Structure 1
């Protein structure tokens, strides 16, 4: 029977320290810094950012990551969903525009960031890298080399942030998509992610060698059931996240349209009154 690793294997203390430092710097310089006085971060934005940090640690530094790497493919897919489909949304929603504007002063950063966050490029880049990662040969070999695995996960996380940027862009000047186009963008994203999930869900044999002969001390899941469960987890959570995103965009668009209509109504009413008064005077 396989034995689960020790405390430092299950809980990554180095990553925890990094997350704490990032959280401290965010609170010290972004929330309470001098630049924040001109563009403060809302309480909800702060909560979203900190929630994103916590979920990042849960997905990458908690037992979910360790068990997913060594034992259960389903836990691996849960970790992937948290890291790439949830964390970037929360971080972008808690990031003030002035941080990106400061970064944009660097011409190299501005050129690369503007290029890789173009909707079609960001969309296809993330989904291509995500699909390639889940090819059996690629994933089996990456899991054997911690350095290459970390590098690939880092690139995938960066592209996930780039993929979500056109939807949750904190910079008005880089907001390239209308709300209708954002909804189409999310819909297209769901289509592109479906083949990878379908390959896993409907496979009738173990497609990843690393999970073929694993004995897990605390579960009776067979490897094939675990593999299919992983695909189902990814697909269901993806549908929930994308559905919630579509609802968020739609209702934000609806509220903005209603607000614009309410602002126009008094003006139209006033114009109508003035025109009526003019007609009476002429009469």
Structure 2
């Protein structure tokens, strides 16, 4: 391969149309509330949802997808981090509670969501599928079979959403983890994702046949360096995302603890004058 693909190979107009339609439906029917019991979604939540949609298109419908599939392993790993580590967070944060309750009325949706978002199942399922995907034999096969690749990526994206649900759960009744357990959950994710990154970073040979014999007209790195760069990108972005998530959870927990302490102190200061007053009245 020595020529870059055409416009419709580098960019996906069909996916862009889907993203625009989803964005319009969200803005028109979700963000503005249901008009009766649900209030409009906050600007910050709307921004999070639309950023998630934009990042999904960047990862799946922009040249990152094409170049990562045909030329550079590092671009492929960048795509992976966008789709599986960032997009689900943005979408869950931007999803209001009331719309999730509407979906939960469907028994099939409720059973699937309740089962696959159990923390241990979500944790191990995503990381297992992600590690299997990056085994050389599996990845080389998938990259040569578009239908199988699409199916695997769909399942992997589903498990990524399930993996992030226990951390950014929009429904209180399904929020199975307190903040301390959420921090442990994120830490466990980081540990389970490390072997796949280490396999790629420390390999001293090109382990993926699909990239071994590709001629890249715009690349200044060797194939092995590009492979190692992909592993490093994955690990660094993973650390940044998980670190930011840990910080978010920790400071939210800290602020809540401080607020509860302030409420207790306020109640105590209010009770002291009342007690004194009661003593005077008794005298």
TM-score interval for Structure 1 and Structure 2 normalised by the shorter chain: over 0.9
Give the deviation of 1:281 after TM superposition.
5.0
Bigger shift: residues 16-25 or 225-234: 16-25
After TM superposition, give the deviation of residue 274 of structure 1 in Å. Answer: 2.3
Task: Answer with 104-113 or 203-212: which moved more.
Answer: 104-113
User: Is the Cα contact below 8 Å between 1:30 and 1:36 reproduced in 2?
Assistant: no
The RMSD of aligned alpha carbons is 1.3
Aligned residues between the structures:
283
CA contact (8 A) 2:33 2:40 kept: no
Residues 1:39 and 2:4 aligned together: no
Residue 201 of structure 1 contacts residue 229 of structure 1 at CA under 8 Å; is this kept in 2?
A: yes
Aligned partner of 1:262 in structure 2 is 262
Taking structure 1 as reference, are residues 35 and 132 closer, same or farther at Cα in structure 2, changes over 3 Å only? farther
Q: Contact 2:204–2:224 (CA<8 Å) still a contact in 1?
A: yes
Aligned to 1:136: 136
CA displacement at 1:192 relative to structure 2? 0.2
The corresponding residue for 1:217 is: 217
Partner of 2:3: 3
TM-score (structure 2 length as normaliser): 0.97
Farther off after superposition, 61-70 or 1-10: 1-10
**2:205 counterpart residue number:** 205
CA distance in 1, matches of 2:222, 2:149: 25
Q: Per-residue displacement from partner, 1:44-63 (whole Å, max 9, x unpaired)?
A: 00001000000000000100
Distance 1:128 1:74 in 2: 21
Gaps of 5+ in 2: none
Name stretches of at least 5 consecutive residues in structure 1 with no aligned partner: none
Alpha-carbon shift at residue 181 of structure 1 (Å): 0.3
After superposition, residues 26-105 of structure 1 pair within 5 angstroms as: 26-32=26-32, 34-35=34-35, 38-105=38-105
| Match runs of 1:83-232 below 5 Å | 83-232=83-232
Please give the alpha-carbon distance, in whole angstroms, between the structure 1 residues aligned to 2:251 and 2:33. 33
SS of residue paired to 2:144: coil
1:253 Cα shift? Answer: 0.8
Q: Deviations over 1:11-63 (max 9, x none)?
A: 01111111111111111111135358623210000001000000000000100
Offset of residue 220 of structure 1:
1.5
Give the whole-Å Cα distance in 2 for the aligned partners of 1:169 and 1:123. 14
